[in-house]
Structure 1
């Protein structure tokens, strides 16, 4: 692992016990999938230097709404540096950073990184220990390797939109950028495997995934239904496509969702809601039978659940061991006592914007505090400090600013 130099901001850091504190990452990512990957590394202690092009002029920050909720949530715990990778001087600085780093992450189109000279082959010649992580739309090569990709395109091409939404309702996108997020999560896992193997081999490697691959992977059992059973899944709305009954049902004050699909759960469910007679119906006594009679079962359940409140049914079904829950709006999610107990809304203080709440990590390691260390930095905030760590004096740094290299 890369050693932090004396005087480095990481030296003496109270968060040095974080598991990735020895790792230095160069972040060349844009949009969401790449930053999602790097956010994992940053949250767990890696020193991340986010490299962004310098502005063309005053107010020319190309990163968009940097103060907005999305950017602030994606880029916490990172240092922000301006660097023009199109210039020879900028690449020289980048290569100097590569020599002292462990990981490079990018999600450019394949041809762009080669044109800039920041591709894996070039970087690994400078530092053979580099683990180089890439996300693309459709893969690094192949018929679509040259194409740009965004989340919704991958949702469509990867099959997700064909199985999302009400039956015969037409394709429907998922309400979050699930392909971006999954690709970022998987790349972070792949980078950790690359770092782990490097401990044995002494060499890094290129780790890459794509939005399309991630989406096909996430099809999971729906994909295996086709590969192994020849079944093409369709839209099932709020019903689970194979586990019945699992779905959304009305209570007197709003909908609830429940799942009682196994044989044992079905018995407990019928007993809990006072419909033991359903257990005597031969057509509902097997999984296949309940699947064939899904519409009638759903209607019968709805007729019962609509008579009492959500809280009533959640308490009754929870006592019987039946998975169930309210259907919350986003504000209700963060008001939920269990979500509050899990501390999923983290507080961080920004130098200009004041106190903010950002989404916490879903990973828990016992004995380790995962509170955010720093808010998202202003554009280029760490540029001069990073250059000084590389040995650049004030005059050279000023010249780089004047030439708009940084």
Structure 2
């Protein structure tokens, strides 16, 4: 029966069946063929898969990012980043990476970051002398910072399925995100020097002050979120709700650039995105239950450990497996399907669960712009006159750079762990 299950699952995934149907459908068919359990258990397990307090933060963070995008906050953040670093060699490229870090610290979403930053900076990059291929590659790659820099929706999913502290994961994402971003920044500087791209004139103190004032409300979002969490004022889920109120107030009352209809459209879009995420999580919960109840999770874990029982070699196996999975699945689905399994394997050989979560998140970030099904590659088509093929060609050098950053984050754990250990005793 297990052979039938894996054959069905592989066939459904290979035939481009929607992932939630593939995951839950394969389990449902096997239960029906076996006849040993009522099929209603699939529905029960789907609801159990999303019955987690930590997951309540996801719709709030998605809505915050959308409100920032339509309310003018993201444009002001991009403008302020350009004032800070635009005059440097490769300034626009550095601005792109820094803007993705800023927006990632607000939305927690990679596709949302690509759209919000790309719509502003893609035309600016091409007009500033950067090649189209480099420009689109930089945007789809830097946009993946949205799931590494806290708050991260993907980290919340990992925390929900493993029980690891959300706050510790968020802090671990700071060091990993900085390394990931610095690799892209270095390449942007190299590209600008190689192609002799001119610098922009330095801003005056007055322009800097004006830019800071314009962006201050937007920059306040991560301060409210992270400051509230680590100041002990509220939990990550409560912080997500507060961020919605804050972003909505700034968009509707302070900047007032959009009509109530457009703000409502952002809410409706957030609801649709949340539904997509949640139905995948619920179906993945069914799969996780089936693997555990049939003893397959233990068998797979033992198979992985049979290859190696040292953290160094095991991390290599994990990275290869998750990178391949990232070519076909989104990061949240990978966390639900593989997170609990790899969590148990990691504990067996002494891998810190927080460090493992960060490594899996970086793998998932790379998958966001890795062909054939990297979501950022498809989202890039919304930037105007960008085809899927152009996005793929542009992303290739950045995949290599991201793998370099992954290696550093994987095998130098202190980069990720020093901040969580500073704030959380016992890690």
Smaller-chain TM-score range? under 0.3
Q: Relative CO higher for 1 or 2, CA cutoff 8 Å, sep ≥ 6? A: 2
Higher strand share: 1
Based on CA coordinates, which of the two structures has the bigger radius of gyration?
A: 1
TM-score, with normalisation over the residues of structure 1? 0.27
TM-score by length of 2: 0.26
Richer in helix (by share) = 2
